[in-house]
A and B are shown apart, each in its own frame.
Chain A
Amino acid sequence: MTHDSGSKSFNVKAMLRDERFWKIAFQVITLVVVFLLLSFFLGNLNRNLIQMGRAFGFSFLRNPAGFSIGESLIQYRPNDPYWRALMVGLGNTLTLVAAGIALTTLLGTVAGVASFSKNWLVHKISRVYVGLVRNIPLLLQLFFWYFAIFGALPNPANQIGLLGLAFLNNRGVYVPWASSAVLAVLGIAATIGAAIAAFYLWQWRTKIRIETGVGGQKQSIALAVLGLVWLAIIVFGMNWTVPEGVEGGGVTGGLRLSREYVAALTALVFYTSAFVAEIVRAGIQSVSKGQWEAARSLGLHAGIVMRLVVFPQALRVIIPPMNSEYMNLTKNTSLAFAIAFPEMYSVATTTYNQTGRPVEVFVVLMATYLILCLLITLVMNQFNRAVQFKER
């Protein structure tokens, strides 16, 4: 800093040598350049849109959509408005995201832990799986699952039955399901509620055992009762319907998962799990060797060391990158449109093709995916806070 603070007179030379002046000047220049660029682009956009006769606005969302959608969680008819069509797409995206996150966490963790297996074959399979799947584009894998695997299943007349509980054919997968949507939602809500209650009960039990050194039986009993109640609700309260093969092909009852949905889910889970496996592996490796040895020397055996000592510490390293994997999975569900699964992006493209409004459709898409990613980040941040080191 060569600024001459002593002199009162305004000195241009000194100002040009002052870093503080340049800091402000640089920001002003940046702002002006960004502003000019934006006004150039937005001005062009405005002129182009006016020339096409489509001023910016979202009122078109209330017009009837006029196209049908293959599968939908909510009631939808072709003459419903566009916003309802987009809702259907969002619903389909959400089913893909929810199932995808659950299955990816499971498969990724198993594959990551498997790379530490003492069994040479299990270790190799985990490594080969990761090395193979991460180096092949997701879209190619998606086409492979959709056309070459699920497309090669027999037609409904020769469908494959699995113990009479589920059926596979080239139109989709048929599984047992609750007899009504309301019951299914209740079942899922009960499962989530039970999981949350179990988590807090377990924490309470651990806290009591740490503080007093004994006890926790009451909580254990509560946990067991909770589990039994949940099991009873799921087994008897759902009024399960089992798919039944029809003479000459086809299936009645149960839940049909379309071939598009199953292929998209499989491809997403297989692809993302390979990345999750690497994250889990790196996390476990990051726990220092001494932790493992200390736990072993206390007489704990390998499984318990992993569960109680190594994995909780690894979680601190695992959670932050998992957040971005979940976000990638969410964004990658948009690829399912390439195999004609009617998710958010696919419906939005159809909307654009029919209305010729790229800007508005893009804003809707961007807002939707941003909000989804933000929600995931919020949940993961909560979770992250729970597993961080509690330091004094």
Chain B
Amino acid sequence: MTTVTPDSFSSAPPEVVGLGPIAWAKKNLFSDWFNSLLTVVIVGIFSWGAIRLTSWALTTAQWQVIPNNFGLFMTGTFPSGLYPRIWALLAIICGLAGLSWGVLGRNVSTLFSRGVLIGLGLVCAFIVLFPPTRPSSLKLLPMVALVAIAAAAGRQAGRKFPGIGKWVSLAWFLSYFAALWLIGGGLGLTPVSTNDWGGLVLTLFTAVSGIALCFPLGLLLALGRRSALPVVRWLSTAYIELVRGVPLVALLFMGQVMIPLFLPIGSRPDRILRAIIALALFSAAYLAENVRAGLQAVPRGQNEAAMSLGLNTPTTLGLIVLPQALKIAIPAIVGQFISLFQDTTLLSIVGLAELLGIGRSILANPAYLGRYAEVYLFLAVIYWIFCYAMSLGSRKIEEKLNTNH
């Protein structure tokens, strides 16, 4: 690149206000001969690619594979007679999401701003117009309504009872067990073998379980590595460095084989549980490093001040150091959660039918021979939406917690 100026420099006050489209193009696309050449070449390549892609998507591609297997993509081989349970789970999550949104936004002047309304409208339009969801769209529309209603209710409740946030957190915690019950059955519901768990539901379940397990473990490891006690420090460091040196796929595969070997003869935990344990043990080592970076960024004076006030080590850590360290580490921690979510795809290698695994088994069906591009593009869109939503959420939390003025 000939002209390289870091963003911050060009963000100086604009010289010309209200650039016309031609002036804008002259400034941003054709400022000198090299830029003009670059622009022409890029536009050429991209329009060629766009034409090829559109013609492929409209003529060659056979999108039928997506709607025909939509249920498989979402829930795997989960018995279709029990789908109402998955819908109930989705309703719980939507209700809680709406409630949290309302409680968090209780001080915002209007919850349903124009942007949010447009977004909701787009979601509804997508649900109605997108063919694969058609049989289910009747049930998806009330879900959107549920989010909106719960948000309004949460806002009212949040204004009346300021302490409601804790209860919403508790509700999220309990919803995990509700999910386990609704998916797995038992206690009055028809049990569903874990062999029939699959699709997006399994991906989300393993990701959430992995995150819930790896966060406390990572925190402990980070504290251990920063500890003044040599034994604790050495053990934590050894664990972190050993795990970080091994590829996840090796850990997952061997986890499937070796976890039963480490337990008394004959005991064999469920393979989904084994996969979640391997995933959490792996991510905890990386998370520990992220938290450690946050801990290192907290000035030593904070620790000393707390000590001089007479706080002991646990209270100093819990009340003074950790809250600051975690705030600093949020982007890195969410980044680690995103990569844990992406790492769930590796479960397809050890034979679990999560989203990518179910995609591969659909592609193995002779009826859909060679539909690789269609299926993989569809999966890529799903993964992208979830990962992008997570990084967007992390940016929002960061803004909210940013107390620097």
Contact = CB atoms under 8 A, between A and B. Distances in A.
Interface stretch (A113-121, A155-163, A381-389): A113-121
A44 B264 contact: yes
Contacts of B8: 285, 289
Nearest to B253: A349
A182 interface: no
A209 interface: no
Interface string A116-132: 11111110010000011
Contact of B342 (A138, A148, A310): A138
Interface string B1-38: 11111111110000000000000000011010001001
Given A27-B231, A121-B38, A113 B28 contact: no
B306 to A, nearest CB: 15
Interface in A47-71: 47-49, 51
Contact of B250 (A148, A302, A334): A334
B33 to A, nearest CB: 12
Interface string A128-169: 000110111111110110011001100000000000000000
B230 interface: yes
B262 A45 contact: yes
B372 interface: yes
Interface string A80-120: 00000000000000000000000000000010011111111
A140 B39 contact: no
Given A292-B6, A331-B247, A118 B356 contact: no
Contacts of B10: 118
A137 B253 contact: no
Given A48-B261, A118-B5, A139 B356 contact: yes
Instruction: Determine the interface band of chain B, counting residues with CB < 8 A from chain A.
Output: 35 or more
Contacts of B187: none
Contact of A26 (B3, B229, B258): B229
A292 B2 CA distance: 15
A41 B258 CA distance: 11
Contact of B6 (A34, A284, A327): A284
B384 A132 contact: yes
A256 B348 CA distance: 30
A44 B247 contact: no
B128 interface: no
Given A366-B246, A370-B246, A137 B6 contact: no
A118 B373 contact: no
Nearest to A149: B373
Given A302-B4, A365-B254, A366-B242, 14 more contacts: A42-B262, A44-B264, A114-B1, A118-B35, A119-B29, A121-B43, A131-B388, A140-B356, A144-B377, A151-B372, A285-B7, A306-B4, A358-B257, A359-B261
Interface of A: 19, 23, 26-27, 30-31, 34, 41-42, 44-45, 47-49, 51, 110, 113-122, 125, 131-132, 134-141, 143-144, 147-148, 151-152, 284-285, 287, 289, 292, 302-303, 306, 310, 327, 331-335, 337-338, 345, 348-349, 352, 358-359, 361-362, 365-366, 369-370, 373-374
Interface of B: 1-10, 28-29, 31, 35, 38-39, 42-43, 228-232, 235, 242, 244-250, 253-254, 257-258, 260-265, 312, 338, 342-343, 345-346, 348-349, 356, 360, 363, 372-373, 376-377, 379-380, 383-384, 387-388, 391
